[in-house]
């Protein structure tokens, strides 16, 4: 299975939200990274066929998705960022409702909902109303509904937004385990959500892909450009002026600042460190 974007462009009046994006997806997890306004939501709305492109097209195995119509949408699973669920429905009734919208027979839904409740570890909450759910439980419920019908293309919009670290790890592991032979596009601005589970990273900014590839390959671009420098409290502002600072932490002898720079000028005591995707994200997206 191959999903291809060909010179995809989307304009809203005078705003160019997506600018000639081309990319090819095959089964695996893709991390779509970018700051707010980068074009992530527009790209997902085009892939889910909720929007028409201004120019360009999307093809599934060589056939434009507009020609496939409902057959294409039947292959989709979508998890929106917003948690505006039906508050007075129980989780079980919500999943049956979503299954009916996807055209499933009740006998099919019975088996699938039981399986998905176990997968997202919400069996004990099946009879509880959604308005009583925590943020993490709602996110797991949304993942379950996205997986109804065994979709081959799974679109996840900020699946860990607003969650505590423990719940984020749970959601991340859940996505990795559920991916299987699907094309999974996971949009986020939190680098750690995709650093260890993504087959490829797509860095989007100002409506364009500015870099893409497997994480290890992408990190080669900034090898030798990430440093830890030791500074005082009074020198923090100066360090921020000189470099892109990705983190600050206090040590026994001062402040340890992690910086990303093309060439370190030796202004402070420094140690070269191994780069990670957060460093690359900062390097490519500015201050």
pTM of the model: 0.89
The pairing of beta strand 28-33 with beta strand 200-205:
parallel
Tell me which of 213, 228, 256 is where a domain ends. Answer: 213
pLDDT at res. 284 = 85
173 and 153 housed in the same domain:
yes
19 and 44 housed in the same domain:
yes
The pairing of beta strand 226-231 with beta strand 244-251:
unpaired
The pairing of beta strand 28-33 with beta strand 183-188:
parallel
153 and 264 housed in the same domain:
no
Tell me which of 194, 213, 232 is where a domain ends. Answer: 213
Each residue's pLDDT expressed in tens, for the chain with a length of 287 residues: 999 999 999 999 889 999 999 999 999 999 999 888 889 999 999 999 999 999 999 999 999 999 999 999 999 999 987 767 899 999 999 999 999 998 889 888 999 999 999 989 899 999 999 999 998 899 899 999 999 999 999 999 988 877 888 888 888 888 898 888 999 999 987 788 888 899 999 999 999 999 999 999 999 989 999 999 999 999 999 999 999 998 999 888 889 999 999 989 999 989 999 999 889 988 887 65
119 and 207 housed in the same domain:
yes
pLDDT at res. 201 = 95
> Are residues 95 and 108 in contact, defined by beta-carbon separation less than 8 angstroms?
no
155 and 234 housed in the same domain:
no
60 and 119 housed in the same domain:
yes
**Terminal-to-terminal C-alpha distance of the chain:** 38
Which residue range(s) make up the domain with 195?
3-213
> Are residues 154 and 185 in contact, defined by beta-carbon separation less than 8 angstroms?
yes
pLDDT at res. 162 = 76
Tell me which of 213, 241, 260 is where a domain ends. Answer: 213
47 and 149 housed in the same domain:
yes
Count up the domains in the chain and report the number.
2
DSSP assignment letter at 187: E
Q: Residue 15 pairs with which residues in a beta bridge?
A: 12
pLDDT at res. 286 = 65
Distances (CA, A) of 237 to 191, 240, 242, 248, 282: 25, 5, 9, 12, 18
105 and 235 housed in the same domain:
no
pLDDT at res. 178 = 85
CATH number at residue 46: 3.40.50.300
């Amino acid at each position: 299975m191959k999903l291809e974007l060909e010179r995809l462009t989307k304009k809203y009046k005078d705003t160019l939200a997506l600018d000639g994006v081309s990319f090819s997806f095959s089964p695996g997890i893709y991390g779509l990274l970018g700051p707010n306004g980068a074009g992530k939501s527009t790209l997902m709305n085009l892939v889910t066929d909720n929007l028409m492109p201004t120019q360009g097209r999307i093809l599934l195995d060589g056939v434009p998705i507009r020609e496939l119509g409902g057959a294409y949408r039947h292959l989709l699973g979508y998890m929106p960022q917003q948690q505006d669920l039906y508050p007075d429905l129980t989780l079980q009734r919500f999943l049956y409702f979503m299954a009916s919208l996807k055209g499933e027979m009740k006998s099919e839904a019975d088996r699938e909902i039981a399986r998905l409740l176990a997968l997202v570890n919400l069996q004990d909450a099946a009879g509880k109303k959604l308005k009583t759910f925590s943020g993490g439980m709602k996110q797991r419920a949304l993942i379950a509904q996205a997986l109804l019908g065994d979709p081959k293309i799974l679109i996840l919009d900020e699946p860990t937004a607003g969650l505590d670290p423990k719940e984020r790890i749970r959601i991340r592991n859940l996505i990795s385990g559920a991916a299987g032979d699907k094309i999974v596009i996971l949009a986020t601005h939190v680098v750690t959500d995709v650093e260890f589970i993504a087959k490829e990273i797509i860095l989007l900014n100002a409506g364009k892909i500015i870099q893409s590839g497997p994480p290890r390959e992408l990190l080669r671009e900034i090898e030798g450009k990430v440093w830890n420098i030791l500074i005082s409290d009074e020198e923090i502002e100066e360090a921020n002026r000189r470099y892109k600072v990705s983190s600050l932490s206090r040590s026994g002898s001062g402040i340890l600042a992690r910086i990303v720079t093309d060439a370190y000028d030796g202004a402070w005591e420094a140690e070269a460190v191994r780069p990670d995707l957060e460093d690359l994200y900062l390097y490519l997206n500015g201050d």
